[in-house]
């Protein structure tokens, strides 16, 4: 399942829920790689390399969603105008988003959670179970972060 405005529901209480379901699949891209990266930036690196979009892709998407909510800016904003092939070649989420030097005033456990979700390689990315466990641990830290920080 990709995380997008069509797969996220926010209740009146502010609870966020993922909706919809899908099966692992390959993404389709413009054939020539000359198209702008645009919203393709939300896909994990392995999907660009013709691998299936699987659960680890959801972890990646969740990390990008957390980044955008916590830092109040778009992930890879400066790279969206790149050609797809250049974006894929240069992809280094932690460096591009400044996660190794800019905590944005966020608690360290929250920054580490985002970092473990947006690893470039599927084999390095956290599992969904581990993310859920870490979310329980950082729950207190998250509740102290002002919305839109």
Is residue 71 in some structural domain? Answer: yes
Average pLDDT of 5-19? Answer: 75
Is residue 2 in some structural domain? Answer: no
CATH number, domain at 58? 1.10.510.10
Lowest mean pLDDT among 8-12, 36-40, 109-113, 133-137: 8-12
pTM for this model (two decimals): 0.77
Q: How many domains does the chain have?
A: 1
Is residue 77 in some structural domain? Answer: yes
Domain extent at residue 112: 24-143
For residues 87 and 45, what is the distance between their CA atoms, to the nearest angstrom?
A: 10
Structure confidence by residue, pLDDT tens digits, 58-73? 899 999 999 998 888 9
Is residue 116 in some structural domain? Answer: yes
Structure confidence by residue, pLDDT tens digits, 84-127? 989 999 999 999 998 888 777 888 888 899 999 999 998 999 99
Is residue 1 in some structural domain? Answer: no
Is residue 10 in some structural domain? Answer: no
For residues 45 and 7, what is the distance between their CA atoms, to the nearest angstrom?
A: 21
Is residue 36 in some structural domain? Answer: yes
């Amino acid at each position: 399942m990709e995380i997008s405005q069509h797969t996220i529901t926010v209740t009146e209480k502010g609870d966020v829920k993922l909706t919809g379901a899908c099966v692992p699949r390959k993404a389709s891209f413009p054939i020539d790689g000359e198209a702008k990266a645009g919203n393709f930036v939300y896909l994990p690196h392995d999907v660009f390399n013709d691998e299936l979009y699987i659960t680890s892709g959801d972890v990646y998407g969740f990390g990008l969603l957390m980044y955008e909510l916590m830092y109040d800016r778009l992930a890879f904003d400066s790279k969206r105008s790149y050609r797809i092939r250049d974006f894929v070649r240069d992809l280094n989420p932690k460096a591009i988003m400044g996660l190794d030097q800019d905590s944005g005033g966020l608690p360290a456990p929250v920054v580490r959670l985002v970092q473990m979700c947006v690893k470039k390689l599927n084999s390095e990315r956290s599992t969904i179970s581990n993310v859920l466990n870490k979310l329980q641990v950082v729950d207190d830290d998250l509740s102290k972060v002002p919305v839109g920080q």
